[in-house]
Structure 1
């Protein structure tokens, strides 16, 4: 029989088998996924990745079920038809590692072949295989396998983790736990922990441990990619991205990290097309390690969570340390899940004075549940970061020096050019000190710099605002008045 007479029958056989054994759907981006009946893991039908494509699992299913072995042309034509039919189906999202569920629950993918996952709900957590219509998992090479978490740990895993990681204070321990609980929430942006400390404090090891609690033993830290596209690709392929041994944060990398923490979207032209585009949406937990990264930009400072480590008193071999961590990981994960349940059940007011209010609320809930003092520690850490920003920015220092001479409550208005002249004279002084590299050269540049520094100034009681009169725009500086202490009532 000629080949063109065999192909129609082959296409029909493949299509009938596929539709009876798999569920096909599309995401909001228009990508079509295949999901084996009763299994929560979905694969894009066009993928040829090393994690296994749908084409490969379809070929294996046809062979093992005795349907037959088909050539590439028949498979391609059948998949083309299936993809076209799936574009008319309902839209459903796919998730990597963490996903929202029904009735306020969230899910954690354990990365197992059998699809077992953890459902975290208001009453506790359970190990289940999720309904495919509630959760669709997307697996990549970065999706490692987690052990089944232990039940009824009584907090032993938290004690074990803190013994393995050399945090220098209880405040850092509380913030690290708040971050881990935040990583189990699919919709709450969390600041990026910046593990810092002296050489030999175990920053990389501690970072790997924190990452592997959520990503499994295959999770690791990596050097930051040299360009934005590669970093976005790496971030989109996993849940937690750990960047190791940072020594410098340039403006581009700093801005990109801000986008990763709070969420953004990248659009580029699809390959081999003239008009189609590919959308990459990302909001992921981020973790950094390093001794010192130099000057920190104000917008990134508001999204960082400094965690300081100290050198251990007694050294242990890598093999001994990781053997103990792998052995205790089920207990550690179980304790973190227990903590997440108790934190979500706790009632606490939402702080309204912090930019990352969701994480601040989580810290307040953690304090209500376990009294770790996380919210005060978070405020202190942000205050320290503001000091770092000011110490690294001569313009910020000059503005605060000028503000110190302003009467509290008084508003000083000048145009951007007038402010530039005033601040330049204040910095240069009577000895005409040369201006530093990067000093603003125009009023517009100064205005842009002040907008970046506005949150830092506000944290130091200096308000900077912009306005317009009938003739010109102006920048207003106000030094906030310090409230007088309340006097006690006289006693008679």
Structure 2
């Protein structure tokens, strides 16, 4: 990617020979120079860049909206695209050896309908500003950098030629209009048959060109048009492709395989392996297509064409979705009453079976497992213990109990799951510990991810990973915090489907996850209540070890660590029925599982739950003490509890808040929600909050400490919010100064200077100063009518 020229689409003019960077990225010094010089500019993607050996990044810029749908169908599933002033740009890859070049595709009127960008071209990336509209480009689907290479469709010579013929056809405009489509449709279908398209592909292309609300006869006549074109001999190549598709289907159906759909309505093929296990492949994945290529090659001795493969995959997927039963797929861990199965990721599909007696390796598994891209194998487990892993990470008794608790929690057959929150300063080994825990439970080619920025990406992570690890988090948005709560407990999240406005895709997963960071990346109490907080101390300079050495030692102890965990799971299955769920911890089911497994851990009885509760209490205390609102309230309740309307509490506190601070409530309603959310955490810290029902004056609140008498509370003064002296009144009511320490002297001077004037004000006369001694009688509100001056009655107009 290169910085752009100001208000233009091209790269910055100072960058000479910019097309040459397609053969290799600029040096680090040059990138740093560009960052400092062009930090406020947009970014443009240099197409034709070799992103992997033999693979080039490309883009199909569709300028005419009439061709957007048909281009999407011809190119294939495009997970990443961008929109600007008009049309859409799809991102794809090309094979270097095919020798494809950039070109413009023109329609029948010689107007550019699409611009294929491959070599020596560039295209702006969101959120760069469009030079004409002055608005940013936007992503449709996933940002390009969030896509795996295998997800991007391949632009082949056949696809390019087909798209060129469709755009250039003189009949396509009539089909797009939906008016008088018969003659244009017959000619257009004949052209597609001549190009070697099969019936399914022709139907897909033709439907994508028609208007969305089309209700004419052309769709019903389409099969007849195709057969007529084939009878007239427009191309025997098209007939050969259809025949080859049937041969492929026959090969699949005659093989020892099973077609089914999973809980997400995706088509799968289940292959029975010679050793006795089964392997489940997603039909539309690259692995599934590779299996079909091999099947065709072994049977016929020739490679299958891309067109025949695509058509065959589409038909098999339709059979799996509409003619086969729906079955649940599991990722890494599955189980039922009294048994747990763990997919070891081996080529022979061997799994670990754990029951109350022990564990063993077997091919006999009643559950179907799915292995997404990046899924890696586990070593064969061996008898062992936890001491080697504990020593490697340098864990004390409490920290070792927390780590072991989380790992056993991951091996439950079903959710909900506790999550692991690892905090520590730089050099404490957070990332290394997270990686080792992840690779023990769910090995993956990319063990660490960046924290998702939206709910859709979070659920996609959950779809492709059993144990998710988010590395170096510095904070999270409230909606992501809520989504993580749902992920831990197995709640569902609905998100808009790609390229649609009115279709929702519902995700329902329960997954364990790890988040590590320096401090305070999780702040909402409902998420912290589901956590196992772990704090790692910084390694002293003399004790630090290279990460490579630690990982090598970890690989040596990994089989014994896995065997030890399986022993503990067997113990949990043996004791699960006789253990009562703890009532003083949020995730009671997970806690009961840990209590059941504890006898096999070698730890002191009760240590696991004690460590979790202590860590949660400490994390909750830190959360409370980092909250400005709660600190102010604790100062108010230092001597007495308080009672009154939330609006009065807001009036008492808000003058001392920085209005630019987004963390402080901006209204009494937001303060009420803030207190309601923090009430459970405050209760653990000995501060009780009681929000009663709402009246016509607002919601009332009681706040007191555990060692205070809840019947002897100080009434909050009701102050006119528009009165200039409200800050003085509230300071006198509470006899306390809620100000930063740096401003204390200024406050004292201001209070002394204004004391005489404040004593004479009506509001001060109406609100007497509260007593400061313990358990004094509750102040009664002043009778405002008695404070008014009485005037003698008048008789007659103007007379006394």
Above 0.5 in TM-score?
yes
For this structure pair, what is the TM-score category when the shorter chain's length is used for normalisation? 0.7 to 0.9
Aligned partner of residue 329 in structure 2, secondary structure: coil
CA distance in 1, matches of 2:504, 2:666: 39
Q: In the TM superposition, what is the alpha-carbon distance from 1:112 to its structure 2 partner?
A: 1.5
- 1:439-454 equivalent positions in 2, closer than 5 A: 439-454=664-679
Per-residue CA deviation, residues 398-432 of structure 1 (Å, 9 max, x unaligned), is: 3344455457xxxx75333233235558xx5xxxx
In the alignment, which of 376, 379, 385 is matched to residue 610 of structure 2?
376
1:350 alignment partner in structure 2: 581
1:25-76 deviations in whole A, cap 9, x for unaligned? Answer: 112332211111354332221223xxx1x22201202222447644344434
1:486 corresponds to: none
**Matched ranges for 1:194-213 at <5 A:** 194-213=421-440
Distance 1:417 1:173, change over 3 A: same
Distance 1:253 1:272 in 2: 23
Match of 1:91 in 2: 326
Q: Does 1:326 align with 2:555?
A: yes
The whole-number CA distance in structure 2 between the counterparts of 1:248 and 1:56 is 41
Provide the C-alpha distance between the structure 1 equivalents of 2:491 and 2:416, rounded to a whole number of angstroms.
12
CA deviation profile, 1:324-368 (whole Å, cap 9, x unmatched)? 211221111111111221133234321123222223223333445
> Per-residue deviation at 1:90?
1.8
Q: Is the 8 A contact 2:647 2:698 kept in 1?
A: no
| Aligned mates of 2:239, 2:449 — CA distance in 1 | 53
Instruction: Flag the 1:198–1:73 CA change in 2: closer, same or farther, 3 A.
Output: closer
Q: SS state of the match for residue 279, structure 1?
A: strand
The within-5 A match list for 1:48-197 is 48=286, 52=287, 54-66=288-300, 69-86=303-320, 87-101=322-336, 103-131=337-365, 134-150=366-382, 152-153=383-384, 155=385, 158-167=386-395, 169-197=396-424
Mapped contact 1:296–1:392 kept (Cα < 8 A): no
The two structures have a TM-score, normalised by structure 2, of: 0.53
Distance in 1, Cα, partners of 2:312 & 2:470: 43
Distance 2:411 2:698 in 1: 46
Structure 1 residues 63 and 463: CA distance shift in structure 2, 3 A: same
Query: Per the alignment, do residues 287 and 272 of structure 1 end up closer, same or farther by CA in structure 2, a change over 3 Å counting?
Result: closer
1:164-208 CA-to-partner distances (Å, cap 9, x unmatched) read 1122x2011011111101111242233322223343222221221
Aligned equivalent of 2:525: 298
Deviation at 1:126, TM superposition (A): 1.5
Identify the range of structure 1 (463-472 vs 181-190) with the bigger mean alpha-carbon deviation. Answer: 463-472
CA shift digits 1:70-107 (9 cap, x unpaired): 43444344333333332232211112212225x43222
For the structure 1 residues 20 and 135, does the alpha-carbon distance in structure 2 shift closer, same or farther, using more than 3 Å as the test? farther
What is the Cα deviation at residue 482 of structure 1? Answer: 6.5
Tell me the TM-score normalized by structure 1: 0.83
| Matched-pair contact (CA < 8 Å) for 1:178–1:366 | no
> In the TM superposition, what is the alpha-carbon distance from 1:7 to its structure 2 partner?
4.5
Native 8 Å contact 1:146 1:217 kept in 2: no
Q: How far 1:222 moved relative to its partner? A: 3.3
Match of 2:264 among 20, 23, 29: 29
Hey, what does 2:280 align to over in structure 1? Answer: 42
Instruction: Check the 8 A contact 2:272/2:279 in 1, yes or no.
Output: no
Q: 1:442 to 1:117 in 2, by over 3 A?
A: same
1:10-29 maps to which residues of 2 (within 5 A)?
10-21=244-255, 22-29=257-264
Cα distance in 2 for partners of 1:218, 1:434 equals: 46
Q: Is the 8 A contact 2:473 2:521 kept in 1?
A: no
Question: Which of 645, 650, 654 pairs up with 1:415?
Answer: 645
**Cα distance, 1:358–1:116 mapped onto 2, change above 3 Å:** same
Structure-1 separation of matches of 2:469 and 2:291: 32
Q: What value does the CA root-mean-square deviation take over the aligned residues?
A: 3.0
Note if contact 1:211-1:219 (Cα within 8 Å) is conserved in structure 2.
no
- Equivalent residue number for residue 474 of structure 2: 247
Relative CO higher for 1 or 2, CA cutoff 8 Å, sep ≥ 6? 1
Offset at residue 256 of structure 1 (A): 3.9
**Bigger Rg over Cα:** 2
Is residue 244–residue 288 contact of structure 1 (8 Å, CA) maintained in 2? yes
- Verify the 8 A CA contact 1:212 1:219 in the aligned structure 2: no
